[in-house]
Structure 1
């Protein structure tokens, strides 16, 4: 979810890992003229990925709201219709606004030939949009009326999460229904190419997998205490473009262990609040940790939140982060040990 903050930085260096100029140029052209999106296909919290694959469509919910395909509908009217049909009991427009954002993206922002990544457990599917959004009235009872035709790539076969770079893995953890991934077109194409080749993973990818495993094991080995873990997070954030990052003294801790600021075009400033949880085999990150971070976000007036652990994340934490996003519009990203290790490696931390 930090792509809003880092998008400018990634735009200038997205192809730095490729040595073949022709291939870089091809991906550059693709990035300029192709968009990409992340879409969770689970309207009303029901898994509809198998149906989407069988019907060659992508699917989204909010089916009670009619008329969203009307091109003349303004954003305000668009949001109001969703509010009336789905969130009339809400005093604010936060949830309606979040839902309208997903629906607007689905109906208006997505275009033919754009890529759509559909997370599915430890794997993901990739599709290419092949037509306009439609509304199927007969599917309203299942909350699957709004659909778009697609061509499923990779022969409709799922791609292992390990084929993706850390940034794409992070984006696939979006806790809302959808997200933009225009800055990750190259990463998506690279994952597709790797999956489509049918060949054994390259030495480079195998080496990275081995490094990730070793890094996770080292993080959990007990050689680093919680103070060192916080300093490591600080170093990572600075590598990722933070203009400033500070570890908060324990006596001043109000729920955020690390605070970092990012600037876009030297004009817009964002504050990121981080809750750090070092490895505890018996205690995965739960909703309680998210609640602590929320206190830190609100105490520091942060724009974004992140929980980073060298361990694992419980489903309850994901639900808590999703609820906070819907209620306030403030995203919280949950980074587990494997993703954290990938981030460290890709940013060159520990390299001699």
Structure 2
């Protein structure tokens, strides 16, 4: 297969299906053919058109616009999930880029010929997940062959099933969804919580887990950020929190050990990880528990509903059910 396969989303299903076009927005960018054919030129135009746009959205938006006009070729294929009828529409690009000045929103257009319209049930869960991209226009890579297979005259809707009828992509899809969620949480923590703010968050998480906590004064002594108790009685748990990007060294954990009295337990929390020497030190010092960024995210997911509203707004998550393999249910 030499032609590219592109995925696209829209809020105007009627425009796509009735006018035989694909289109993206950003009408204020004007006629894209008048912009120099370079990604930098598109970024500059995007930034001047939308001066309040965030840096990340500038690169993403400009990149989609550039690909739509300069990378899409006649003969390329389009995979478009329509919401109005929950169908997967497969088409072929048949026209060059055009700017439709009188369009209400979707002014950047290309003509297509729709070749097949199939129910979502004709595709594997992995294929459906790939075209569920948050981007408006994107490349379909992992499941491109599956989408192209439907154009074969001998295609059968059951072709994606295994011998036992189970969709093998379900397990991979579930894992990708979980990992994407974990990445999002860790990014939000790194972006919003530095230094003392992360300490306050960890104290809130420990409270959600059933601990009584007190936070040391900002810039407090001996490097102890939080003191926690499971109930009214000892043992006391001394907590140190680090928001640094680099891995935690053994000497840093030793400083926590030095602040502990007999009978105390220690907890070290970081958004990053631990060096090999630090990991070995933790293994040999069972009274200190180390939690890295991945483990912290696991705890957040477990106790999310018990976190303060402030942090649930900072890390907005929605409870949903996702498909898993039957083996995972056993």
Equivalences for 1:101-250 in 2 at 5 Å? Answer: 101-121=63-83, 122-139=86-103, 142-154=104-116, 157=117, 159-193=118-152, 197=155, 204=162, 207-208=165-166
Matched, 1:74 2:38: yes
Change beyond 3 A, Cα 1:109–1:202: closer
Q: Contact 2:123–2:160 (CA<8 Å) still a contact in 1?
A: no
SS in 2 for 1:174: coil
Tell me by how many angstroms 1:51 deviates: 1.3
- Per the alignment, residue 52 of structure 2 pairs with 89
Q: Contact 1:38–1:180 (CA<8 Å) still a contact in 2?
A: yes
Change beyond 3 A, Cα 1:135–1:204: same
Equivalences for 1:254-273 in 2 at 5 Å? Answer: none
TM-score, reference length from structure 1: 0.49
TM-score, reference length from structure 2: 0.52
SS in 2 for 1:64: helix
SS in 2 for 1:208: coil
Count, aligned residues: 216
Tell me by how many angstroms 1:58 deviates: 0.3
Q: Contact 2:125–2:169 (CA<8 Å) still a contact in 1?
A: no
Q: Contact 2:35–2:42 (CA<8 Å) still a contact in 1?
A: no
Task: Tell me, in whole angstroms, the C-alpha distance in 1 between the residues paired with 2:87 and 2:164.
Answer: 18
Q: Contact 1:79–1:100 (CA<8 Å) still a contact in 2?
A: yes
Tell me by how many angstroms 1:147 deviates: 0.3
Task: Tell me, in whole angstroms, the C-alpha distance in 1 between the residues paired with 2:66 and 2:108.
Answer: 12
- Per the alignment, residue 337 of structure 1 pairs with 322
- Per the alignment, residue 35 of structure 1 pairs with 4
Higher relative contact order (CA 8 A, sep 6+): 1
Question: Cα RMSD over matched residues?
Answer: 4.7
Tell me by how many angstroms 1:78 deviates: 1.3
